[in-house]
Structure 1
């Protein structure tokens, strides 16, 4: 029976076809950072104070400064209070001027934003004072949508395939992303963002398996991290878009509409041949393999394809297999914790660009500039030190850095449940995403609480990663029977290498 790695060798392990596929899978990720954290630039805090037009009924000729002096209290710094005003009275203007107003209350007639500026979520929906937390709550609801997407699209992709899930997700992100730009109500805005987030999640958890299942062991880290580099480039795109477009509705359109240009994927995006083989769809798998070989200017030996006909369909897997099998349960729990800790600190920092004391657009640009070389370096770190050590040490380092301020998952799951495994880990990451904006609210009790939480959680995730099995230079497993399949694949690879070396030595002797 032919090994799938033998077919990949015949097709070309990381040639033109795979490079084009990785590029196709990377392009949607350019817009992903906008959907994830773009709202931060739509709710930037601006000066505001209570609307006190009630006094105009008795003093229509008052200047703006006179109106504010009479109707707004001042804080300890001598600035007008932003969230309180003097209670309206039925006095005439002379009495108000003579005796002044003393009783205060919360803003009862909306707010005024004196600075001339483009409409933002904050100014259009009054996300200030008692409504200020709605921005963070909205972001948590978005992350809940990502969680729902992980629950739905992870198992669905293992059942119906990676290609249809990715196409459906791209369509959903585009349609709901554009609809958001035309919504008149913040509650409806939150609902539509949550629905769009499910589609965003589908894109995120589908690109990883589809990229890795078409390449060989040695090129897996590169395939994954190239797609991740496009996420870093997306951070730079976000900084440029948000700086150049201050109107939140136009910004939403600009950050979503380019996805329309990718609808040609319907005709060119392939399915995972490895997944097709596990589902017994041998003829369809052969079709994609032949197409890949043609693009790579290779020829698959007929005997290999004939042996593929004899491939016995792998028993279908489910998310329960990840919990029933001891070796998979260990991986699932640890990876879920790692994804949780990683996402907690990543989104906690990304959603707090306003809290670094610098220009928020410059801070966002710095995030992208730092991420890009960081992801590229990871390609080499994974090759030199393996996945387990690299992930563990980097999580520990991230946690340590967060604590100093206060004072990446790889493929470990079998093909038949790979998307379910990634989806389950993604669920953990989305729970962290839901919690991350809420942790920022704890800053009101002490400024160090959020960063201390992020740092401690990340260091714990890093320590847990040392318990994971190493998957560097190990073939992807296709079933859930035992964890020895990885060992067998490793032995197969080593035996193959030894045989080739013996053949070369024999030729030299001849």
Structure 2
């Protein structure tokens, strides 16, 4: 019987077909970046202060806007004006107020005023998400992450049951529909609901798109295909910062980010094959042969009919699922450990990414640099795992990234360049960690359970994504608390990571292999 590895040697292990496929699956990663980080710009905050026009009624003299704020709005310790506090109105005339000042404070009793540049808007300015309603912004991001969590579980199950190609194409179609529809949201609640559905849709792309490319290559190229395609996520981040800089209206920006998917979908429909590895495990020999012959034709190779006849195809379809993972002891152990590793990476990555506006420099420039640094981070991660292995590389990057988050706490706020540089180093480590964890996780599971396994681990990452915006609210109690959490969680995941087996130079497994005596064989363990 011929294995899929034998077939790849015959049709080309990394020919034009595989290269074209890697290029095709790279493009959706650009839109993944748009979807995950876009709220940094669509929910852009503008300077806002309480409406204190009451003081204008105390005198016929005209007050400049700056002088009016000085008299009626308290300042923070750093000298900036408070956003949601004002001095309590009094009946005194202007001269008395200027002479004695005001003492007691209250909330914005007459509403708030925003200083919005001409032509700019965001969901905060349009839906009045100020002061007491500001938590809706963080809630929106957390609900979006909840969509990612739900989508990760559902898409992982669907991919192992119905195929990778079907799930990817369906997810891209839904992301286009919900992403464009969000631009026409009449209120914040409709926006949150549509954003949630974008998260559900996008999870189907994240957990499947890279695996399709990797499963069509020999095992030694799995990491290369996965990381190269994910590097386009960094390109998406840079494009996002440029588009957001040029397009300041959030509705127009939303359309600009999602509309191109209508062109991407037909191209992927034509190029994207189904995973032959998955078809073989499902007993669908005729379809597997068709896809193999298609690959051979693109690579300019001939495939032996005898080799195809002897293809080792499962007679009974192996339709595993999440429950099967928890029934198998070694897979259960890997899932629980890797789940916490994914959680730690997610806390660190989103903690840095969503705080991009709090580092003291221009938000567009900082976001561009954050995207730029991810390109070498993802490429260097490939060299690291080939030299030092998956386990040690992942553990080292988790420790480095966590240390960077903790270092931000001790740097004075009047040194924004230093804070940004340290944050960029943390972003470098978190981006490299993400690239490695997708490769590592995919190699730890057999083909029959690979997408379910990635879906379960991705669910843990989305839990981290849900909590990351809420952790920022801890800053209301102490400004150092959010970065403290963002640093300690990934650092604590290092020990768990070291408990996993190494998968460097280990052949991808098609099935979980039970022992005849007790337990299960540690497939891929060294």
TM over 0.5: yes
Q: Larger deviation: 464-473 or 17-26?
A: 464-473
Distance 2:508 2:76 in 1: 64
Give the deviation of 1:125 after TM superposition.
Answer: 1.7
Which residue of 170, 176, 179 maps to 2:178?
Answer: 176
Distance 1:215 1:391 in 2: 23
Q: Deviations over 1:324-366 (max 9, x none)?
A: 1111011111111111111110011000001212111121111
TM-score computed with the length of structure 1 as normaliser: 0.88
3-state DSSP of counterpart to 1:196: helix
Q: Deviations over 1:403-448 (max 9, x none)?
A: 3333422211111111110000000000000011111221232333
CA contact (8 A) 1:155 1:420 kept: yes
Q: Are residue 255 (structure 1) and residue 257 (structure 2) matched?
A: yes
CA contact (8 A) 1:70 1:96 kept: no
Q: Are residue 284 (structure 1) and residue 284 (structure 2) matched?
A: no
1:35-184 equivalences under 5 Å are 35-52=35-52, 65=65, 68=68, 72-75=72-75, 81-85=82-86, 97=94, 104-117=105-118, 118-184=120-186
CA 1:291–1:115: 2 relative to 1, 3 Å? closer
Structure 2 unaligned segments of length 5 or more: list them: 411-435, 515-519
1:22-421 equivalences under 5 Å are 22-52=22-52, 65=65, 68=68, 72-75=72-75, 81-85=82-86, 97=94, 104-117=105-118, 118-264=120-266, 265-308=268-311, 311-407=314-410, 408-409=436-437, 410=440, 411=442, 412-421=444-453
The residue aligned with 1:493 is: none
Structure 1 unaligned segments of length 5 or more: list them: 491-510
Q: Are residue 426 (structure 1) and residue 458 (structure 2) matched?
A: yes
**RMSD of equivalent CA atoms:** 2.6
CA 1:119–1:66: 2 relative to 1, 3 Å? closer
CA contact (8 A) 2:384 2:393 kept: yes
CA 1:331–1:62: 2 relative to 1, 3 Å? same
Give the deviation of 1:242 after TM superposition.
Answer: 1.5
3-state DSSP of counterpart to 1:31: helix
CA 1:170–1:103: 2 relative to 1, 3 Å? same
Q: Larger deviation: 293-302 or 117-126?
A: 117-126
Distance 1:74 1:465 in 2: 49
Structure showing greater Rg: 1
Give the deviation of 1:398 after TM superposition.
Answer: 1.7
Give the deviation of 1:402 after TM superposition.
Answer: 2.4
3-state DSSP of counterpart to 2:230: helix
CA 1:170–1:186: 2 relative to 1, 3 Å? same
Distance 1:395 1:208 in 2: 22
Distance 2:391 2:117 in 1: 52
CA 1:486–1:134: 2 relative to 1, 3 Å? same
3-state DSSP of counterpart to 2:142: helix
Q: Larger deviation: 306-315 or 253-262?
A: 306-315
The residue aligned with 1:498 is: none
Give the deviation of 1:134 after TM superposition.
Answer: 2.0
Distance 1:379 1:67 in 2: 57
CA contact (8 A) 1:181 1:249 kept: yes
